[in-house]
Amino acid sequence: MRLLQTEVDVVPGRKPQKQPLPEGFVGPGVATLRIQNSTPRQNSYTIRLKCEEPYWQDAWFTLAALPPTGDVQNAPPTGKPDQPGPRNQSLAIFIKDGGTRDVLVSFAVPEKSECRAGVYRAKVIIETRVVSDDPHAARKERITEIPITIIVRPFYEWKLAYTPEERRVGIFRRRSQFELVVENHGNDWLYLDMKLPRPQNVLVETPVQTIAIPPPEPGTDSVRTIPINAVSRFKNIRGSKVPTPLPLQVQRIDAPTIPPLPDEAAYGPCAANTGAAVIAAETNDTGVPEVPAKLIYSPPIPDTFSAFFEAIGRNARGLIFAVIGFIVAWQLAVFTYEIYFKNITEIRVGRSNVKLGEPFRIRGKNLLGSQIMLFDPQTKAQIGEAIVPQHSKNPIDDWVTITLKDKDLDGRKVIFGAQRLGRMTFLNRFLPITKDPTSVLIGKAPEKEKGDPFGSLPASVKVDGQLEIGGANYGDKEGKLLINGKQAKVLKWTDSQIVSALPKGLIPGSFLNVSGRTFEGKKIDLNGTTVVEDIQMPGGPDDPLDPNNPGGPGNPGGDPTDPGNPGGPGNPGGPTNPGGPDAPPRDVRNTLPSTYNLLLTDSRSDYLKAIQRIRSPKTAMDYAVRAFAYANVDKPDEAINDVRAAAKIVGDRETGLDVAMVSIAMVRTIERAKPAEAHAQYKELDETIGKMAPGFVFGNIVMARFKLSQKSNFEAKLFVNDALNKMSPTPAERASLQRLLKEAGG
């Protein structure tokens, strides 16, 4: 089996030849496959064609068996006709032993761009099989491959167009640009040579001379654009429009991808010469755009009214942009002048307070032609609109006058700034703003809003006495005060003090439930607890702080059996102390001042009273009491100074009430100044307070207060019960301990 034509020349759009050519010719769209059965048996042959080249399409070829010629053995066997496959792209034939058959391979390529020109290497595949009823005589398939070359010739189809089709030029803008658009609809590379026109009044230029456009890929377009520059040579100022066409001509150059078929291939055996070189040659195939481009010269002065109005309408957009550009340029020039030559370098008000509706001057440099702006000192945000001031008639003066009229500014502090106005407004916000750093109060200062009302209850009251409550923010108008749920009679009501009569039937030793509201209905926050004094409480023999007690600080007498009591004029002394008017003075180291009772209520007002009463401290106890009061009203610096003064007086001494009080004041001061160290300081105080002053109740009171602040109610109750059961507290100390026990939930 062999191919009579191994090279096939295919022209797109041309039908293949129906009759086969002799062996050795280049097939004009067809090739003949000759199969000869040289075996002694009948064989079956299946013919196919396979090509794996890019752009190849199986729809290009068909297979057909030619009628048998010659001897009888060339005819198909009886009952076994030729069997063509789908779309005639495969063929099965039966050949007797010694017979010969010809198969025609035809190629028909449509004239489309996706049918790419080129050389396609393919194979004709023949599957041979011996046909016999005897399974031993039957033979398996044998595949034979015969190479074949299919040459698809190029065809050329292309289109030219200008974009845009018209361009207008004038005396100032004489140059314009067009684009030549070339579309390749062929199946091979397109080479074009541009023939530029030479009009008398137009100069045509292009950066390229020869154009190469590839064939389009399947499903896409192949387009090239070439810039064309046209320059008008007209220079007349007045006249009519002059259109000048650009008759550009494009000539195709023949340079196909594959060489042409040799001439001798038409009348004799010959090769297709596919490996030969291709030489470019000019052709007669030329192209001209359907609508040639026009360069229209429009003089600036039309010669007719209609042309004049037409020019205005045509150039309206250009005129508008020209005006806008002039305005922007003018603004930029003014902006630059204002910044570099007329910028405000200084502004000062010179006053700390100005009134609404009253003119005042603002001085500075270059304030003429400026606007005044107000700013918030905290947020730096602008307040209200800018103010255009009144300027001095003398341009040399460096001040302007403004008047504030906005009532919303009354009572506010502002900062004044100035900004140049410029010649127009839309660039004003870009000009710098110069500010006077000093804030100015406008109108009267706003009244400070009062806080919530609060006060402190006294530690105790007498049954037949009055209830006096100190504090703040009660208001000048009388409100309501409730004692044990009943409205009390108010004897005095001021912003910082409330005095009321006590209801009848109070039980000594009981606590008062006190609440109140101001005239405006605000609830008064009352701190502390008030206990009704027992009838024997004042002047008792166990109260060393009662001035009426013979053993108190106001009476030099004391217990005649106390060996440490110096006695006094009212006490003849004890067995170990002669007493009498010539007795030595009391030991101030173990004497508690009257201001000590003010520390037991734990109220801010009583702490302040203690500070006021101890104006000139002389003893370590006085300094320690005042230091403790200072620490509780958040004045740590004053507290530290008093602690140092008390420690200096005490010196190296380790026992005594004053030593214990100095330690308590120091620990309280440390707690307020450095809370992180408070726990360690109170622990040390608990270990040493018993050695300094055994039975000193205030040490347990202070420890209980600290434990309550730490949410340790159980430990607080231990300190309180220890003082109540093992020590001898005074009535005031007992009342303080009972309040602490109530707070601890005991």
Higher pLDDT, 84 or 345: 84
Considering only CA atoms, which of 722, 614, 620, 600 is closest in space to residue 666?
620
Tokens 């109060």, residue?
441
Give the containing element (helix H, strand E) for 525: strand 525-527
Strand duo 413-420 + 382-387: pairing: unpaired
CB distance 462 to 536 below 8 Å: no
Per DSSP, 675 falls in state: G
CA 288/CA 423 separation, integer angstroms: 58
Percentage of the chain modeled with pLDDT above 90: 33
Residues 591, 390: Cα–Cα separation, whole Å:
76
Reading the block at residue 336, the tokens are: 């630059």
| Mean pLDDT of the region 567-590 | 42
- Give the whole-angstrom CA distance, residue 571 versus residue 679: 46
> CA–CA distance from 714 to each of 681, 696, 711, 745 (Å)?
20, 21, 9, 9
Collapsed DSSP state (helix, strand, coil) of residue 235: coil
User: Residue 149: what pLDDT?
Assistant: 96
Give residue-wise pLDDT tens across range 51-65. Answer: 999 999 999 999 999
**For residue 683, how far is the Cα from the chain centroid?**
52
CB 730 within 8 A of CB 695: no
Q: What is the pLDDT of residues 596-614, one digit of tens each?
A: 999 999 998 899 889 988 9
Q: What is the mean pLDDT of residues 299-320?
A: 75
Q: Which two tokens stand for residue 304?
A: 């007719």
Q: Compare 631 and 445 and report the one with higher pLDDT.
A: 631
When pLDDT is cut at 50, 70 and 90, the band that residue 536 belongs to is very low
C-alpha 290/C-alpha 267 separation (Å) is: 42
202-205 and 222-232 strand pairing: antiparallel
- Each residue of 413-432: pLDDT tens digit? 999 998 877 555 566 667 78
Q: What average pLDDT score do residues 208-227 get?
A: 92
The pLDDT tens digits of the residues spanning 647-668 come to 989 888 888 888 999 999 999 9
The pLDDT score that the predictor gives to residue 462 is 85
Average pLDDT, the chain: 83
Does residue 587 or residue 148 have the better pLDDT? 148
Q: Please name which of 687, 645, 682 lies closest in space to residue 662, comparing C-alpha atoms.
A: 645
Tokens 């500014």, located at residue: 409
Return all residues near 45 (Cβ < 8 A) that are at least 6 apart: 35, 92, 93, 94, 95, 101, 126, 127, 128, 129
Write phi, then psi, for 51 (nearest 5 degrees). Answer: -140, 130
Q: How confident is the model at residue 138 (pLDDT cuts 50, 70, 90)?
A: low
Domains of the chain (ranges, CATH numbers) = 2-152 (2.60.40.10), 158-297 (2.60.40.10), 340-442 (2.60.40), 454-532 (2.60.40.10), 590-743 (1.25.40.10)
pLDDT of residue 306: 74
- Residue 561, pLDDT score: 34
Buried (b) or exposed (e) across 106-127, using 16+ Cβ within 10 A?
A: bbbbeebbebbbbebebebebe
What is the pLDDT, as a whole number, of residue 187?
A: 94
For residue 611, give every residue at least 6 positions away whose Cβ sits within 8 Å of its Cβ, in sequence order, or none: 626, 629, 630, 633
Residue bearing the bigger pLDDT, 116 or 390: 116
Contacts of 644 (CB under 8 A, 6+ apart): none
How far apart are the C-alpha atoms of 620 and 287, rounded to whole Å? 121
188, pLDDT greater than 90: yes
- Cis ω on the peptide bond leading into residue 164 (within 30° of 0)? yes
pLDDT value at residue 143: 92
Contacts 24+ apart (CB under 8 A), 287-291: 287/158, 287/159, 287/160, 287/192, 287/249, 287/250, 287/251, 287/252, 288/160, 288/247, 288/248, 288/249, 288/250, 289/160, 289/161, 289/162, 289/180, 289/248, 290/160, 290/161, 291/161, 291/162, 291/165
pLDDT of 534 reads 61
Of 566 and 437, the one with more pLDDT: 437
Among 604, 658, 664, 673, CA closest to 633 = 604
**Do 490 and 516 touch, CB atoms closer than 8 A?**
no
Rounded to an integer, the average pLDDT of 555-573 is 38
| pLDDT tens figures, 464-483 | 888 899 888 898 889 999 99
Task: Give residue 344's pLDDT.
Answer: 74
Indicate if the pLDDT at residue 552 is higher than 60.
Answer: no
| Per-residue pLDDT at 492 | 92
Mean pLDDT on 644-648:
90
CA distances from 652 to 152, 567, 684 (A): 123, 28, 18
Mean pLDDT of the region 504-512? 79
Under the banding of pLDDT at 50, 70 and 90, the label for residue 338 is low
162-184 average pLDDT score: 90
Instruction: Using the predicted structure, report yes or no on whether residue 131 has a pLDDT greater than 90.
Output: no
Mean pLDDT for 213-237 is 91
Beta bridge partners of 177: 229
Least confident of 103-107, 149-153, 164-168, 390-394: 390-394
Give the 3-state secondary structure of 451-487. CCCEEECCCEECCCCEEEEEEECCCCCCCEEEECCEE
Residues 457 and 735 sit within 8 Å (Cβ to Cβ): no
Supply φ then ψ for residue 591, to 5 degrees.
-110, 130
Distance CA 643, CA 701 (A): 20
